Amino acid sequence: MLEAYVKKILSSEVYDIAIETPLEAAPFLSSRLNADISFKREDMQPIHSFKIRGAYNRMVKLSERERKRGVLAASAGNHAQGVALAASRLGIQATIVMGLNTPAIKVAAVRRLGAEVILRGETYSDAEQHAHSLVDRSGATIVPPYDDPAVIAGQGTVGVEILNQFEGDPDAIFVPVGGGGLVAGIAAYVKYLKPQVKVIGVEASGSDCLNQALIAGRRVRLRADGMDLFADGASVAQVGKRPFQIALRHVDQMIVVTTDEICAAIKDVFDDARTIAEPAGALSVAGLKRYVKDKPGSNKKYVAVISGSNVNFDRLRHISERAEFGECREALLGVSIPEKPGSFRRLCRVLGKRAITEFNYRFNDQQTAQVFLGIQVGDLEERKNVVDMLTKRGYVVDDMTDNEMAKLHVRHMVGGAASAAFGEVLYRFEFPERPGALRTFLTEVGVDWNISLFHYRNHGAAWGRVLVGFTAVNRDRRALRKYLDRIGYRYWEESANSAYRMFLV
């Protein structure tokens, strides 16, 4: 199987439109991790993503009759740009179906390249289904984003370049995974020529379709309502059939990383390359860091594929906030201090010269004050040491660094007791973010129940996040949960969350 793919890869016609991207050293990250790390800069392609390779290689092989009928594609954004650019060069009419949560920068880029854009569905899978429904009416040819031999071969040229550009052989190549076309193409070529080089796929937690498939030994489909769309360019519910067949035998390992780890990786890429990778584009670096952390002092040679840089500018606020957590460089603590003069000064004296990133005070009662505290730390060990030190000094400390509600909402709120909110119950919601989404949410939620607390921040992420308090006495709470289940939003009850108890009650 590999030999057939290698022949297709070596005969791919990608360089009519794509460029051979550089393999650049990452000195800062290399020094920190005690390893020799290089970035494969696919963000430097004409569409700022590797996707142009596979799209063009598939479309250049269309017959004249197929070209006249046009092409259709479903995409989370980058494949759409690849198809649109290829179509403009080849004189083909292109129609692209994209999810409603696709970053605006990607939608605008596709339209600028001359393709018709149809926005449909919450996920890539929804867009894909609609694209296939249009084929019968239009007669156009579907250009798959990953599950196609010519597309896989086009993406495989990234592997050819890495082996040609690297002095000697890398110990491992880290590849971001969505539908699997890129990792399949790279694995097919690299494992055929250099079987000792590890190919390691990296996915985002909540959209790890290949990881789940390899665990199960078969392709599985992730539930759309449970998928995390932060790394929107790699949020795919089911890995492609052909990529899975290759990965099953030739991908050495899968690593699943968190949103915070991805944000930290975006910062790492910026520090070394002075480019802002999109979340999916930095997946490989996040996976590499996790891999090296588990194998410290290895001093090995690694390559991370920076697969794209199509990110909305307004997402950077959210990314920068979460990057410090991903690198364990900030701790969020809830600290109880005596409600008396001099308490703040004593707490600051105990903390010493540590940099304070956040200091929020909420009056609790006549004896106790609650402080929401952000502190710069060097790593996870220092964070634990700070908590231990404060506890030994007599403070009651709650480490909220991994508390999602605290990070998303409480640190940005002005709270305090609400004596009139009798029977308050707290829920955290997520819904696909797009214009009008908050209004729709309010229309659904705010009809039959009294809202006692509400917090929403639009930070450019794929998901809108809302914290809502309802006044519902015990007999009404079961009815409230049934109502919330019926309207279909993802939600978590947070009434017992310590951040709520300390700062909002």
Give the other-Cβ count within 10 Å of 446's Cβ.
13
Answer whether 347's CB lies under 8 Å from 395's CB: yes
Question: Looking at the DSSP assignment, which residues form a beta bridge with residue 172?
Answer: 198, 302
Give the other-Cβ count within 10 Å of 42's Cβ.
28
Which residue out of 40, 51, 198, 407 is catalytically annotated?
A: 51
Residue 121 DSSP code: S
Write the secondary structure of 171-232 as one string of H (helix), E (strand) and C (coil): CEEEEECCCCHHHHHHHHHHHHHCCCCEEEEEEECCCCHHHHHHHHCCCCCCCHHHCCCCCH
Give the other-Cβ count within 10 Å of 467's Cβ.
23
What is the spatial distance between Cα 241 and Cα 269, in angstroms, rounded to a whole number?
Answer: 31
CA torsion angle 148 152 154 160 (round to 10) = -160
Tokens linked to 305: 């594929």
Closest CA to 280 of 35, 42, 28: 42
Answer whether 296's CB lies under 8 Å from 266's CB: no
Where does 274-379 have alpha helices with state H?
A: 283-294, 316-326, 343-351
Answer whether 141's CB lies under 8 Å from 66's CB: yes
Which residue out of 307, 309, 407, 452 is catalytically annotated?
A: 307
Judged by phi (left if over 0) then psi (alpha if -120 to 50, else beta), residue 73 lies in: beta
Does the annotation mark 51 as catalytic? Answer: yes
Indicate which residues carry an active-site annotation: 51, 307
